[in-house]
């Protein structure tokens, strides 16, 4: 959406290699994410998209390579991930709101218990964010009372209420009924317009094209192609990407 090539690099992953037991899930993946950039990762199932995102906030450990963030290498053993995770928010496919807590308490958990912010201030911010995603009246609801699309928007707000610098989205509309996909994608588009740095994994090709500054195409644990959205969707450089895209033509 914006030209970001000259912006400073926020996360710099270099030669990241990850094994699950003997199975190589990431093979020498290098990707620099610039401030305010929206990177969309595409690729066939099992190519390592989720694994890569999870490595960026320490849900998986890597066996080789480096992930530089604010001057530190997160890939080194002994990294204290808790401060990092406050700056790199993540939203999951299955929402994972806390079912025993109201929307209010879901949103306050991080700001109050992790960041030790005053409850009243955190609540004001949460209310503002809820307003932005169109759910201002849902503060007292429980997750079970919400639709999938509403849950996912709350999950996005939960991550945003930590004031992260980067947001990671892993197929956040994949579990939704088609009529709810739009409301969630609109929220993400809004974030992009406001200059949020994001790494997005999605199977929604139209959305990818609309939101991305850069498309990263992965296959078999490797980055095959990095391109602008226009070029990627009209004339991709690699045959693998062509074959991948042909599957989305009806």
Cβ-closest position to Mg ion? 50
CB of 34 to another protein, least distance (A): 22
Residue 11 near residue 75 (C-beta atoms within 8 A): no
Residue 115 binds which entry of another protein, Mg ion, ligand ATP, none, with Cβ cut-offs from 5 to 8 Å by kind?
Answer: another protein
Stretch that binds another protein, among 5-13, 18-26, 94-102, 220-228 (CB under 8 A): 94-102
Phi first, then psi: give them for residue 149, nearest 5 degrees: -65, -40
Question: Edge-to-edge strands of the sheet including 166-170?
Answer: 88-91, 166-170, 197-201, 38-42, 214-219, 222-227
Least distance CB 189 / ligand ATP (angstroms): 22
Residues in the chain: 250
Min separation Cβ 132 and ligand ATP, Å: 28
Which two tokens mark 44? 């066939």
| Interacting residue with ligand ATP among 16, 34, 42, 49 (CB under 6 A) | 49
CA max distance for the chain? 54
The answer to whether the CB of 62 falls within 8 A of the CB of 17 is yes
Per DSSP bridges, beta strands 197-201 and 166-170 are parallel
Does residue 20 interact with another protein by CB under 8 A?
A: no
Distance CA 10, CA 33 (A): 6
Nearer to Mg ion, 146 or 207 (CB): 207
Q: Give the Cα separation of 142 and 102 in Å (integer).
A: 4
Choose from another protein, ligand ATP, Mg ion, none: what does 159 bind? Cβ within 5-8 Å by kind: another protein
At 191, phi and psi to the nearest 5? Answer: -65, -40
- Give me the DSSP letters along 157-207: HHHHTT--SEEEEESTTTTS-HHHHHHHHHHHHHHHHTT-EEEEE-S-HHH
Q: Residue 61 Cβ, how far from another protein at the closest point, in Å? A: 13
Looking at the Cβ atoms of 60 and 237, the one nearer to ligand ATP is 60
Shortest Å, Cβ 93 to Mg ion: 7
Site for Mg ion in 24-53 (CB under 5 A): 50
The footprint of another protein (CB under 8 A) covers 57-59, 81-83, 85-86, 89-90, 92, 94, 96-100, 109-110, 113-115, 142, 144-145, 155, 158-159, 162
The footprint of ligand ATP (CB under 6 A) covers 20, 23, 25, 43, 45-51
């Amino acid at each position: 959406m914006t030209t970001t090539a000259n912006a400073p690099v926020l996360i710099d992953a270099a030669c990241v290699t990850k094994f699950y037991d003997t199975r190589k899930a990431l093979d020498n993946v290098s990707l620099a994410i610039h401030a305010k950039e929206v990177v969309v990762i595409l690729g066939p199932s099992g190519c390592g998209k989720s694994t890569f995102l999870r490595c960026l906030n320490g849900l998986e450990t890597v066996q080789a390579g480096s992930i530089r963030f604010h001057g530190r290498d997160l890939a080194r053993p002994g990294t204290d991930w808790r401060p990092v995770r406050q700056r790199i928010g993540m939203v999951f496919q299955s929402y994972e709101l806390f079912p025993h807590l109201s929307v209010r308490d879901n949103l306050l958990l991080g700001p109050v218990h992790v960041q030790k912010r005053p409850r009243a201030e955190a609540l004001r911010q949460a209310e503002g964010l809820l307003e932005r995603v169109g759910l201002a009246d849902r503060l007292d609801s429980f997750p079970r009372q919400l639709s999938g699309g509403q849950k996912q928007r709350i999950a996005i707000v939960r991550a945003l209420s930590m004031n992260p610098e980067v947001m990671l989205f892993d197929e956040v509309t994949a579990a939704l009924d088609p009529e709810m996909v739009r409301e969630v994608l609109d929220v993400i588009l809004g974030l992009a317009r406001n200059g949020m740095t994001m790494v997005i994994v999605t199977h929604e090709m139209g959305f990818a094209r609309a939101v991305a500054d850069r498309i990263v195409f992965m296959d078999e644990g490797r980055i095959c192609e990095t391109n602008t959205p226009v070029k990627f969707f009209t004339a991709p450089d690699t045959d693998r990407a062509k074959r991948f895209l042909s599957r989305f033509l009806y």
